[in-house]
Amino acid sequence: METRLSTRAVHAGEEKRKPYGTLTTPIVQTSTYAFHDTAEILDYMRRKAAKDPLRREEYARYSNPTQTVVERKLAALEGGERGLLFASGMGALTTTLLAWLSHGDHAIVLLPCYRRTGDFARNHLPRWGIETTIWPIDDPLGLEGALRPDTRLILAEMPTNPHLRVIDLERLVDIAKTHHIVTVVDATFATPINLRPLAYGVDLVVHSATKYLGGHNDLLAGAVVGSSELLSPIEEARGVLGGVISPHTAYLLLRGMKTLDLRVRRQNESGMKLAQFLEGHPAVRRVYYPGLPSHPDYALARQQMSGFGGVISFEIEGDMDDTSRFIDRLRLPYIGPTLGGVETIVQQQSLFLSLDPEERREGGIADNLVRLALGIEDPADLIADLEQALSDLSTREGELE
pLDDT at 354: 67
Question: How does pLDDT run across 83-113, given as a tens digit for each residue?
Answer: 999 999 999 999 999 999 999 999 999 999 9
Amino acid at the residue 131: E
> Which pLDDT does position 349 carry in this prediction?
85
C-alpha–C-alpha distance, residues 290 and 197, integer Å:
17
| pLDDT, tens digit, 9 for 90 and up, residues 112-153 | 999 899 999 999 999 999 999 999 988 877 898 899 999 999
Pairing of strands 82-86, 222-226: antiparallel
Q: What is the reported pLDDT for 142? A: 85
Tell me the pLDDT tens digit for each residue of 190-210.
Answer: 999 999 999 999 999 999 999
Question: How confident is the model at residue 124, as a pLDDT?
Answer: 96
Average pLDDT, stretch 308-324? 96
Decide which of 401 and 375 is more confident.
375
Q: Are 222 and 87 in contact (CB under 8 A)?
A: yes
328-343 average pLDDT score:
96
Tens digits of residue pLDDT in 338-382: 999 999 999 998 887 767 777 777 777 889 999 999 999 999 999
The band of 51, judged by pLDDT with boundaries at 50, 70 and 90, is confident
Q: Indicate the residue type of 350.
A: S
Classify domain 5-28+64-257 by CATH number. Answer: 3.40.640.10
**What is residue 350's predicted lDDT score, i.e. its pLDDT?**
82
When pLDDT is averaged across residues 309-327 and rounded to a whole number, the result is 96
What pLDDT is attached to residue 352?
A: 77
Question: What residue spans of 103-227 are helical by DSSP H?
Answer: 115-119, 140-143, 169-178, 191-194
Question: Mean pLDDT, the chain, as a whole number?
Answer: 93
Select from 304, 308, 348 the least CA-distant residue to 324. 348
Band of pLDDT at residue 396, cut at 50, 70 and 90: low
> Please, how many CA atoms are within 13 Å of residue 79, restricted to the half-sphere of its CB?
15
The domain segmentation of the chain, as residue ranges, is 5-28+64-257, 260-400
pLDDT at residue 30 tops 70? yes
What is the predicted pLDDT for the residue at 98?
Answer: 97
Cα–Cα dist 366/349, whole Å: 8
Q: Positive or negative, the Cα torsion across 104, 107, 113, 114?
A: negative
pTM summary value: 0.94
Angstrom distance (rounded) from CA 290 to CA 312? 9
Rounded to an integer, what distance in angstroms lies between the CA atom of residue 253 and that of residue 220?
Answer: 9
Closest CA to 90 of 118, 121, 62, 117: 117
Q: What pLDDT is stored for residue 365 in this prediction?
A: 84
Contacts for 354 with CB less than 8 Å, ≥ 6 apart: 360, 363
- Mean pLDDT for 60-80 is 96
What was the pLDDT predicted at 394? 62
Question: Would you tell me which CATH number, out of the four given (3.90.1150.10, 1.10.3720.10, 3.40.190.10, 3.30.210.10), belongs to the domain 260-400?
Answer: 3.90.1150.10
The residue type found at 284 is V
| C-beta neighbour count of 398 within 10 angstroms | 9
Mean pLDDT check: name the lowest of 14-23, 96-105, 303-312: 14-23
Helices (H), 120-259: 140-143, 169-178, 191-194, 228-241, 247-257
Q: How many helices (H) and strands (E) does the chain have?
A: 16, 12
Examine the pLDDT at 398 and tell me if it is beyond 60: no
Residue 19 φ/ψ region, left for φ over 0, alpha for ψ in the -120 to 50 degree band, beta for the rest: beta
Name the H helices within 242-294. Answer: 247-257, 260-279
Question: pLDDT (tens digit, 9 = 90+) per residue, 239-297?
Answer: 999 999 999 999 999 999 999 999 999 999 999 999 999 999 999 999 999 999 999 99
pLDDT of 397 above 60: no
Show Cβ contacts of residue 375 under 8 Å, excluding neighbours closer than 6 positions. Answer: 267, 310, 341, 342, 343, 344, 345
